[in-house]
Chains A and B, each alone.
Chain A
Amino acid sequence: MTRRPWLRGLRARLLVAFVLVTVLGAVAAVWSSAGSAGGALVTSYQRQVTRTIGDQIGAIAPQLTYPPDQGALDRLRATVGANALVVYGDLRSADGVDTGLITDELRLAVRTGDRLVTQRTVVDGEPWLLVGTPVMITASDGTRTPSGIEVYAVRDLTGVEREIDGLTRSAITTAAWALPLSGLAALLAAGSVLRPVRELRDTAGRLAAGDLDARSPPQGADELAELTVTVNEMAESVQTSMAEMERMRADARRFAADVSHELRTPLSTLTAVVEVLADTTDGMEPDARESARMAITETHRLVRLVEDLMEVSRFDAGTARLRVEEADAVGAVRDSLRARGWWDRVELVAPEEVPARLDRRRLDVVVANLVGNALRHGEPPVRVHVSALPEQVRIAVTDSGPGLPEHVVPHVFDRFYKADAARTRTPGSGLGLAIALENARLHGGDLTAENTDHGARFVLRLPRDPEEPGDPEER
């Protein structure tokens, strides 16, 4: 579409259409009314002239002698008025007039007919009315015979034309007045159509933005009202489906939370007794010892899985709380590595300190997860790079292994996502990176995964001064 935008608007199109219709209508009206009014004017003038001349001739005709002489013709002409000509055979009245106006066609019609003939003509742009009539002799028995006298009169039609022009002009003026009125009417009509359309558009926008309570009140009973009703029904059904879906998701989340909660009690028992068991495996038969050790290992794995599940449930339920405190991000990372005995296996590149407001426990969870993954799946050297940006702390964990397979990168933070089937028996729960990402987001930060030229890199970005709901730390 290369049309100008304003022409695409409904309002502009309606306006143009209204104005066009008005102009065409006005032109047609002016044309036809001026034409018929002009015709009527000419006809009535013509009738008047005809009647006058007929009456004048009728008044003087009985006094005429036949055959008439020059004097009679002159008298007759004087009666009819200026711009007239009376002809009898070769005789014609004096005080001639511009007989050039009188056409042969008219003369023939008068000479052969027995009635008054009119003709309109235009000479040098001036409109003229030509009237010609034979003078009839009425015998005593009532029969009429032509006397041979022909009377011609020429009447100027300019006045009538001027009147017609005036009529046309006033019609055009009226039409011109109608134009802005029609524009106004177009705007009003456009408004009455556009208001519900605009309301619908706003409602659709709010729906699209996620406000499923958005509705438009339908007005009137036209097509737009029907459309509004349909849109409302659509919103209703979307809302119902969304609510149903949300309920199902909440159920699923609650189920996961309940399951992990229920698992905790038996796991508490198991955790307590496997330590006792571990102390006594030395005296067992080999098979029994192996079984006991498997039970111990798997119990710890199960504990870890349930703990991670419960952590995820807290994020899902929105009950995970950030507890920030003034801390040194570098020190926190260093503590995290030391606490797990990774200090010698990881290269820490960092400034002296990076003060920030952090939830140390959550930062520890993220760092432990990223570095743990790098040590398990990547190759040494594993490098942790802490840097201070004006508003953020950036912590990058890089390994020198084969990197993440390209098809894994988009899913690396998915829950229980396994990069390949052979790796299903890693010590992780499959939730570690998902939890790390949630922890980053809880800080108002982010966690991303990518491949470098020689390994995988995870980058954690945390705001140095996150917003928090209330500060329970300082009292």
Chain B
Amino acid sequence: MAAILLIEDDALVRRGLELALHRHGHDVRTADTGEAGLREFQAFEPDLVVLDLMLPGMDGFAVCRRIRASGEVPVIMLTARGDDFDVVGGLEAGADDYVVKPAKPTVLDARIRAVLRRGTGTRDGVRVHRDLRIDTAALMVSLHGEPVRLTPTELRLLLTLSRASGRVFSRQQLLEEVWEQSYIGDSRLVDNCVQRLRAKIEADPAAPEYVQTVRGFGYRFGPV
């Protein structure tokens, strides 16, 4: 059960998704424009936003950037199927995941639950890697003693990678573990999330120390 803000301009689609998500046990609020959505976002403080990218007035990308700038509330976009422009733009605007339209409510619900699931695996205490401190129990991350604010997806990615320092994870493995996409996920989700994570924890995101790229295969944490 999560508090969800649905921003969708088409009245019938909005109502249909509201009905379906409600049946999946979510508390759904809706908005029909980007501007109204942002107002509702302030008032309602949802756990997650489901955002249609094609909105009149302020478009979905702008809304997504505003939500991302104001906190760590995850965003799932609704996009045209395989529409690369939408997917790339939405991920760059900070969306955590996307679902293509027409979206099946069960699929959307599964994604919502995956994005909201923060901790994974064992909560084995505190991992310290040089200046980075990851508290797997309290789900807190700090750098140089300062808390780092991560979205649930970023946190989960960091927890997954740092669980086995030095081990290489393929994008497909990360999609399965972090996004819970059992099959043929979009590896751009991983790449975008890694970039956002690096921007928050690396001294120089262009020469990362913690989350390193293994060319041709995937990513690995450290070794630091």
Which of B110-118, B147-155, B180-188 is the interface stretch? B180-188
Q: Given A264-B102, A268-B13, A273–B184 Cβ distance below 8 Å?
A: no
Q: Which of B80, B103, B184 contacts A272 (CB 8 A)?
A: B103
Does residue B163 face the partner (Cβ distance < 8 Å to A)?
A: no
B1-40 residues with Cβ-Cβ distance < 8 A to A are 10, 12-13, 15-17, 19-20, 23
Q: Which of B10, B81, B213 contacts A307 (CB 8 A)?
A: B81
Complex Cα distance A42/B199, Å?
118
Interchain nearest-CB distance for B96 vs A (Å): 19
Residues of B contacting A474 in the complex (Cβ-Cβ under 8 angstroms): 213, 215-216
Does residue A364 face the partner (Cβ distance < 8 Å to B)?
A: yes
Interchain nearest-CB distance for A463 vs B (Å): 17
Does residue B142 face the partner (Cβ distance < 8 Å to A)?
A: no
Q: Given A335-B184, A364-B184, A475-B195, A271–B80 Cβ distance below 8 Å?
A: no
Residues of B contacting A335 in the complex (Cβ-Cβ under 8 angstroms): 183-184
Question: Do the beta carbons of B19 and A268 come within 8 Å of each other?
Answer: no
Interface bits A41-81 vs B (CB < 8 Å: 1, else 0): 00000000000000000000000000000000000000000
Question: Do the beta carbons of A273 and B20 come within 8 Å of each other?
Answer: yes
Does residue B89 face the partner (Cβ distance < 8 Å to A)?
A: no
Q: How large is the interface on A (under 10, 10 to 19, 20 to 34, 35 or more residues)?
A: 20 to 34
A447-475 residues with Cβ-Cβ distance < 8 A to B are 472-475
Interchain nearest-CB distance for B117 vs A (Å): 22
Q: Given A272-B16, A273-B16, A474-B216, A264–B184 Cβ distance below 8 Å?
A: no
Q: Which of B10, B81, B102, B186 has the most CB of A within 10 A?
A: B102
Complex Cα distance A265/B9, Å?
10
Q: Which of A303, A321, A473 contacts B102 (CB 8 A)?
A: A303
Question: Do the beta carbons of A473 and B12 come within 8 Å of each other?
Answer: no
Does residue B171 face the partner (Cβ distance < 8 Å to A)?
A: yes
Interchain nearest-CB distance for A304 vs B (Å): 10
Complex Cα distance A311/B216, Å?
28
Complex Cα distance A326/B187, Å?
12
Does residue B66 face the partner (Cβ distance < 8 Å to A)?
A: no
Interface bits A269-313 vs B (CB < 8 Å: 1, else 0): 111110110010000000000000000000000010011001100
Question: Do the beta carbons of B19 and A272 come within 8 Å of each other?
Answer: yes
Question: Do the beta carbons of B20 and A276 come within 8 Å of each other?
Answer: yes
Question: Do the beta carbons of B13 and A279 come within 8 Å of each other?
Answer: no
Q: Given A272-B103, A273-B19, A265–B184 Cβ distance below 8 Å?
A: no
Does residue B123 face the partner (Cβ distance < 8 Å to A)?
A: no
Q: Which of A269, A272, A306, A472 has the most CB of B within 10 A?
A: A272
Interchain nearest-CB distance for A189 vs B (Å): 62
Interface bits B172-190 vs A (CB < 8 Å: 1, else 0): 1000000000111011100
Does residue A394 face the partner (Cβ distance < 8 Å to B)?
A: no
Question: Do the beta carbons of A279 and B23 come within 8 Å of each other?
Answer: yes
Name which residue of chain A comes closest to B217, CB basis: A326
Q: Given A325-B171, A339-B184, A475-B213, A268–B82 Cβ distance below 8 Å?
A: no
Name which residue of chain B comes closest to A339, CB basis: B183
Question: Do the beta carbons of B171 and A361 come within 8 Å of each other?
Answer: no
Question: Do the beta carbons of B171 and A276 come within 8 Å of each other?
Answer: no
Interface bits A360-385 vs B (CB < 8 Å: 1, else 0): 11001000000000000000000000
Does residue A5 face the partner (Cβ distance < 8 Å to B)?
A: no
B127-186 residues with Cβ-Cβ distance < 8 A to A are 171-172, 182-184, 186
Question: Do the beta carbons of B217 and A264 come within 8 Å of each other?
Answer: no
Complex Cα distance A347/B81, Å?
32
Q: Which of B10, B82, B84, B106 has the most CB of A within 10 A?
A: B82
Does residue A314 face the partner (Cβ distance < 8 Å to B)?
A: yes
28 A-B pairs within 8 Å (CB atoms) are namely A261-B80, A264-B101, A265-B12, A266-B12, A268-B16, A269-B10, A272-B16, A272-B19, A272-B20, A272-B102, A273-B19, A275-B23, A275-B104, A276-B19, A276-B23, A311-B81, A314-B82, A323-B188, A325-B171, A326-B217, A335-B184, A339-B183, A360-B184, A472-B188, A473-B191, A474-B213, A474-B215, A475-B195
Taking beta carbons and an 8 Å cutoff, which residues of A are in contact with B? 261, 264-273, 275-276, 279, 303, 306-307, 310-311, 314, 319, 321, 323, 325-326, 335, 339, 360-361, 364, 472-475
Counting from the closest, the 3 A-B pairs by CB-CB distance are A272-B16, A271-B102, A268-B102
